[in-house]
Structures are given as structure tokens and as C-alpha cells.
Chain A
Amino acid sequence: MSAGETMTGMNALTIRLQDEMFALEATHVREILDPVPITRVPNAGDFVGGLINVRGSVVPLADLRVSFGMQRPPADADTRIVVMEIDLDGEPLVAGILADKVYDVTDITAASIEDAPKVGMRWPAEYVRGIGRRGEDFVIIPDMNRIIRAEGDRNSSLASTERTDR
């Protein structure tokens, strides 16, 4: 589903990244982990700068705060890793998403979701599928596929410039 389409309601896992609340598609969430040792991947770029061990498989750890240009303070007691399975061009991709805090699973009704405003938003509009409302708060619904595709590509091009520059 891309940003242009009208959104249906969703069953969402709400998390906090810095001061903003985000909603992740709950059906795509596999598990939520306490912080685990992260292996740095040199020259991989900040968005997927690490790898973690999730039950014997090696999983990339993505930091959405990089995509949304946020501060990245070190992990604290509330930090969690949300392991998601994202369908990327027909292939499932398992990735960990770093969250400053995990709230709960909630229903966001279609009526409460608005399209992302094209202007006046602090965030890159193409990464936002819509803005939902939960009580008084706004919830950002990120377009995971688009973010991963864009950041993944950026990562490759970064890495290749790193390789060719000499």
C-alpha cells in the first residue's frame, strides 16, 4: 500500500521514537525484545548500522530515527527492539526496529486516519503513509516498505562510494 491510497483501519503496535508516537502494522510484528548486543556493520550507514541475533538468525537492526532525522540517544530502560517481517517485493525481510518505548496494541479506525500533509510536516512526507489519531495524540504511520527500499539503496550507494574512493 502506498501513500496515495486511502488507508483502511489497522491493528497497530504503537511505539515511541523520541517525542513522537508511531504505529506499526501489528500483524507484521513477530516479537518484541529487550535490548541485545548489537554488532556494528562498518561502512553500512546509520539506518542499518547493526546486526542482532534473533533466535539463531542474523537480523538487521533498522533505526527509524535516522530516516526521520531525529536525535539518537543511547539505549535506556525503555528501549526495545520490535522484530518485524516486512514483505519487500514478494520476499519476506525480517528486520529489527529500534523503539525508544513500546506502548500497546490498538485499533486505529479508518475514519481517524488522514493523509500525510504534503507541506508543513517535519518529516519526509514520502515516508509517512498517514497520520492517525489516538485520543488526543497523533500517531505517525510510517511507510516501512518505502523507507527500507530507500534507505537500503542509499546504504548500497554509500558503501559503493566508500569502496571506489581511493
Chain B
Amino acid sequence: MSELDPAEVFRQEAADLIETLEQALLDLEKRPDDSELVGLAFRALHTLKGSGAMFGFTAVSEFIHEFETAFDRVRKGEATADRRLIAAALEARDHVAQLIDDPDCDPERGTAILSALKAAVCEGAGVETGASEHLAAPIVETGSAQPVAAGWHVCFRLPADALILGTNPLLLLDELRSLGPCDVTADTSALPPIDFIEPQSCYLSWDVTLKAGVSREAVDDVFLFVRDDMELSIEAIASESPVAAAIMAPVIAETTTVIEAAQPMAAASEASAPKPKAAAASSDRANAAKSERNATLRVPAERLDELMDRVGELVIAQARLSQLAEAIHDPSLVNVAEEIERLTASLRDTTMGTRMVPIGTLFGRFRRLVHDLSEELGKPISFVTEGEDTELDKTVIEQLADPLVHLIRNSIDHGMEPPEKRAETGKAATGTLRLAASHRGAEVAITVSDDGAGLNAERIRRRAEEAGLLSVGQVISEGELNRMIFQPGFSTASEVTALSGRGVGMDVVKKTIDGLRGSIDVDTTPGKGTTVTLRLPLTLAIIDGLLVRVGEDRYTIPLAAVEECLELPTGVAADGRGRSFLNLRGDLVPFLKLRDLFHTEGEVDPYQKVVVVSSDNTRVGLVVDQIIGNNQTVIKQLSRLHSGVKTFSGATILGDGTVALILDVMHLVAYGQKLEERRRAETLGRAA
């Protein structure tokens, strides 16, 4: 811990909080009455303020203080979270993010944002007070008619690690005392025998009776910084009534019992039974929240990469062991080898699982983008996401952010028509932008679809010809024409807007997706909309593979892509380059003779095998000499020197230490598909 830069820790924490704040604000726009959301946003702000001040980001905490003050009126129900307020709050959120990066940036802008925020709050003020019902009693200054409690009974227990984390209970008690006279009782029931006491742990809980007519907020605020992890119950005491005494009595009894008892634990658990109901309920909630929080753990990405590397090495070593065991034929050794193989496989899956992140984390970021674009361009848009729980390797997800931003921008800016035009064509005024993810075999498909105007084939062709990407009159397929939009320097927008039209952007999409060894498809219907599909390999680390032999060389085929294996029927002729077609239960499947494709020399096995692989419902057969069997394949990227060789997606190390290449199924299938298309064209040509 000591080598961590505290400022960096704060930045990380702040990034999370800012995201929470943003999501809450965006949700709040849809459900302005949801007091939970207001509370969520407010808590995020408050924590940011507190930790900002603690880590010396004074500019941040000062700005947030003002932000918070303005937002507090929403919390109290004095103002509604209308669109204007949300817009101002989002801008303030951006400013906070900027201040964290550079505390000296643009104080004037900050002031401007704050006054806009205040104006928005004041305008919305008084419109609605209903929201405050869920919240605690309004404070005295608001002039509310609701009676204020004569005092408060506060029970709180800090988490065991509170002292280590720097919380000082004495300060909390002092703060309570500053509100008014207090009776404080410490509950020592959880105190273990002296041998087991960890001096740094917090075992005590406190019961405080505060005899002062302060607002509930004031009491709440004392605990704001520690609220998340603690058990806290705050109850109003109507007056110096028997109720308060009744509450106090068992507590005192409990305390005394504990002190007298030699076995504190058992006694305490019985004695604490008559605790006020509310306290139990609130501690239940706190516990639930706590366990949820404990369920995730922040780990530096490099450590996971390192772990993955180690597992990769283990897999390779295990393959060597299995091979040795086979060779030596010692049953006990074979047993151990098999057991290690099983363990390695499950370790591999678990490790890879830790690197998988639901894509929803990425989708969330785009809500803001769509919101802003929709405002800016005056095109109302409903943003729908599907398949947020689809998991992808973290590195892939990170690299997807940029391409998706460009695709979404493009859809909204170019695809979506303005509302007037949509009305003319009989569409709903609000456009729909759909972002969906799903698993398809060994791939993940991500689609961005809009119900806009669709691509204009003529305009694309004209632009492509102007830009010299296409010679005049050149015949290309529809798919190829649509993919032109991903060429560098291509833009069909007649005007350049601030957002798009400069011809950069879409080529970034292509470059990134190519880099991830994925593919892009564009599907468009004029007047109906456009769907862009990105297909990506599931992982970049370890896969199950099928090991095959071609001549003297061995290759691995990703098992998830393999549909079936069969013997090559005799009499199926291939052309000089090793390409032909195979009748597979009535379907004509193109096949590629890898021997010819790879210029393999050496003896041809008399019984050739065909491995049928598929990618996105298209099949191609690969003819090999021998199918060796399954193996776990640790994918090693090829170096830059081999970046031009597209038939292979990487290499792996086999049990005997030699390197085997991994076939790039997507590429081979595309190659087979072209053959198939050509065959059709030739047949058509002959028929004509």
C-alpha cells in the first residue's frame, strides 16, 4: 500500500464516484421523483467533496461544496430535477472531472456553471415538494410545519477495520456533542477475551441519546463519511417520555450483563436480542450492502496479465508432462498427469473469467454521449441497450470504446433524420438507437443500429469515386460498397459539423477492429435504417484448439469454430490451387487444401481429412493430412514481422516445445466465401 500515490488513489476513486453521479443524473432525468437517485447523486458528491479535501484537492472540494449546496435543494424537494437542472449538473460534473485532472483550470467557467446550476435550481423551486416525503423531515429553516423531535436516539457500530482506515469514533462523538447534550454509552458486548483483542480493531458500538431539537439531517451529516460501512440507527425521541427510557433500559441492562459475564459472546448475543426493530432492519440492510461491496475487488490489470502469463506457462508445462506420461506408460504417472490437466483447465477458465468484464460497463458510458448529441443536434433519441451482461476480455472492451463512440456519433449525426423529416416519412419523432451485444459461437457480435435514413448507395459511390477509392464504373458488391465508409478520408456528409463529417473516425473503427482480429459488416435499408455489426474473438488469451497435421507441420484450429470432421471422399477433384467444393448433406461447402495453400512438401497422407469450420453461419472445409486431437492453446501474438500474414491469428507452443501456428478461421472462411461467390458468378456466366 505504501508505494501507492495517494493522489492516484483519489483519482481512481473519484472516477468511480463521478460515474455514479453521472448515471444517477441521467436516470434522474427520466425519473425526476426518485428520491433514491437524488440520494445516490448527493452521496457521490459528498464523498467526492470529503475525499477531495482530504487529499488536498481543495479546488475540487470547494467547487463541489457549491454544487452540493445547489443540489441539496433538490434533495430537500425544494426544486425538481428538470432537464435544465440535469444539463447544468452534468456540466458541473464535467467541470469536476476537469478540476481533478488540473486543479487550476478555468475558474471562471466553474463560476459560470455554478450560477447556471443555481438558476436552474431556483427556477425549479417550489414546483414540487412531494419528493421530500421519502426523505427525512425537512429542516427547521425551511419553515416546515412538521414538528421537530425533542431528541434523537442514535445507535452506531463501526466496521472492525474502521480504526485502520482512519476513522476516529471520538471525533464522531464530539460532533454529536456539538449538536447538544448527549448521554453516551459504549456497548462492549462484542469485545473478545483479552488474548484475542487486536488493538487496531474496533469492537465497540455506541448508544447516544442526544437531547436537542436538531434536524435529522444534522445527525445524519455527522455520519456521512462513514455511513456506507457502518450500522446506524437514528430514532426520534418525541419528548422525555417513557419510550426513550424503554429503549434505553435494555441497552443498559445489556451492558451490565456483559461486564459481569465471564463469557461475553454468548451473553451478548442473547442480551442484544431486544434491540429496537428499526436498528435490526437497518443493520440488515447495511450488511446486505456490505456483502455486495465485498463481492468485488479492485486489482491492478497488470497483476491479472501476469497471472494469465503464468497460467499460460503452466498450460504449456502441463502439455509437456502429459506427453511424457504417455511416452513412459507408467499408469500412476498418467493418473497424476490427467489430474494436473483437469486442474490446469479449470484454473485456466477461472483465470480467464477474472479478465472477463460485462460489456455493460462500456455501454453505460455512451448514455451520456447519446444524451449530449441528442440535445446538441435537436434530434430526440431513445437509446436502447441489450445484452449488457455479455462478457468480453477486458483488453478488448477497452479498445472497443473509441470505435463505438464513432459509430454512435455517425448514426446520430448522419443516420438519424431531424424530427420534421421523420414526421414526413411517417416515422416516430423519437429515433431509436440500439446497442446490442451477444455471443455467437467463439465470437461476440456487437451491433449498433438506428432507424434513420439508411446509407445512400449512390452518394457513397460518388464520394468513393471522387476520393479515388473506386474507379468510375467499377463493379463491386453491395457489402463492399457499404464498407467504403470505413475507408480513411471518406465522408458523405455534405456539411462538416462539429461532430463528424471530416472523414476521420470511421477508419479508426476499421483499424481497431482489424487490430482485434474482428470484422465489420454493414447492413442498410434505405429509409429504414442501418445496422453495423462488429464481430470479435471472445478472448485473446487461451482457447481450446484442434491440433492437425499438414505435411510435417502442425497447426491449431480454434475448437469453437469447428463444426465437424470427416474423411475427404475420394474422387473430389481440386483445382491447381487446392480449392473446390464438397457436398455436405446437400449443401455445397467450399474447401481449401491447406497443403496447397501453405505450399507444403512431403508425402501426402492417402486418407485426407476435412475439418469443417464456420464463422457466422458460413462454412468452409479445411483439408489436412491428420487430425491429432484437442489441445489447450495459449495464444501468442505474432510479431510485427508477421503482421502481413493473415492466414494465422497467432501461434502457440506445443507439449514438445515446438511452435504451432493458429489458423485464422474468420479469414479462411472469408476466403472460402469469395470462392463460392466466384463459382456462382461463373455458373451464371456460363448460363448466360
Contact = CB atoms under 8 A, between A and B. Distances in A.
Interface string B277-319: 0000000000000000000000000000000000011001000
A37 B641 contact: no
A88 B645 CA distance: 19
Given A48-B641, A152-B643, A43 B657 contact: no
Most buried by A among B597, B639, B643, B651: B639
Given A37-B658, A51-B651, A93 B641 contact: yes
A48 B600 contact: no
Contacts of A44: 642, 644-645
A40 B643 contact: no
Interface in A58-72: 58-60, 62
Contacts of A155: 641-642, 644-645
B598 A93 contact: no
A152 B644 CA distance: 8
Contacts, number: 91
Interface stretch (A1-9, A138-146, A156-164): A156-164
A118 interface: no
Interface string B150-162: 0000000000000
B172 to A, nearest CB: 53
A91 to B, nearest CB: 8
Interface in A129-153: 148, 151-152
A7 to B, nearest CB: 25
Given A56-B313, A58-B651, A88-B640, A163 B657 contact: no
Contacts of B648: 41
Contact of A53 (B598, B638, B653, B674): B653
Interface size class of chain B, counting residues whose CB lies under 8 Å from the partner chain: 20 to 34
A154 B512 CA distance: 23
Contact of B659 (A51, A62, A157, A166): A51
Contact of B641 (A56, A57, A60, A157): A60
Contacts of B643: 152, 156
Contacts of B646: 159-160, 163
Interface string A45-85: 00010011100111110100000000000000000000000
Interface residues of A, number: 34
B356 to A, nearest CB: 24
A72 B660 CA distance: 24
A21 interface: no
A14 to B, nearest CB: 24
Given A156-B644, A166-B577, A166-B674, A56 B639 contact: no
B517 to A, nearest CB: 15
A95 interface: yes
B213 to A, nearest CB: 68
Given A42-B598, A42-B599, A57 B645 contact: no
A95 B661 CA distance: 17
A56 B645 contact: no
Contacts of B659: 37, 39, 51-53, 58
A41 B640 contact: no
Contacts of A163: 646, 671
Contact of A58 (B600, B638, B644): B638
B316 A43 contact: no
A157 B658 CA distance: 27
Contacts of B651: 39, 51, 58
B660 A41 contact: no
B553 A43 contact: no
Contacts of B600: 42
Contacts of B678: 166
Contacts of B671: 163
B636 interface: yes
B647 interface: yes
Interface string A104-128: 0000000000000000000000000
A45 to B, nearest CB: 8
A58 B641 contact: no
Nearest to B597: A42
Contacts of A93: 639-641
Given A43-B599, A51-B661, A157 B653 contact: no
Contacts of A40: 553
Most buried by A among B316, B638, B642, B652: B642
A60 B651 CA distance: 11
A47 to B, nearest CB: 8
A152 B643 CA distance: 8
B312 to A, nearest CB: 8
A43 B639 CA distance: 15
Given A39-B661, A43-B647, A159-B646, A152 B640 contact: yes
Most buried by B among A62, A155, A157, A160: A155
A39 to B, nearest CB: 4
Contacts of B658: 37, 39, 53
Contacts of B553: 39-40, 42
Contacts of B652: 58
Nearest to B643: A156
Nearest to A155: B644
Contact of B645 (A43, A53, A62, A94): A43
Nearest to A158: B644
Nearest to B579: A166
Given A56-B313, A57-B636, A58-B651, A43 B641 contact: no
Contacts of A166: 577, 674-675, 678
A42 B660 contact: no
A159 B316 contact: no
Contacts of B657: 36-37, 53
Interface in B594-625: 597-600
Contacts of B660: 39
A41 B644 contact: no
Contacts of A56: 312-313, 316, 653
B644 A157 contact: yes
Interface in B50-96: none
Contacts of A59: 639
A44 to B, nearest CB: 5
A65 B173 CA distance: 81
25 contacts: A36-B657, A37-B658, A41-B648, A42-B645, A44-B642, A51-B638, A51-B642, A51-B651, A51-B661, A52-B659, A53-B659, A56-B653, A58-B636, A60-B639, A60-B642, A93-B640, A95-B641, A148-B641, A152-B643, A152-B644, A159-B644, A159-B645, A159-B646, A166-B675, A166-B678
Given A58-B638, A94-B639, 17 more contacts: A36-B657, A37-B658, A41-B642, A41-B645, A42-B645, A42-B647, A43-B598, A43-B645, A53-B659, A57-B636, A58-B636, A58-B659, A95-B639, A156-B643, A156-B644, A166-B577, A166-B675
Interface of A: 36-37, 39-44, 48, 51-53, 56-60, 62, 88, 91, 93-95, 148, 151-152, 155-160, 163, 166
The 5 A-B residue pairs with the shortest CB-CB distance, nearest first, are A156-B644, A42-B598, A159-B644, A39-B659, A58-B636
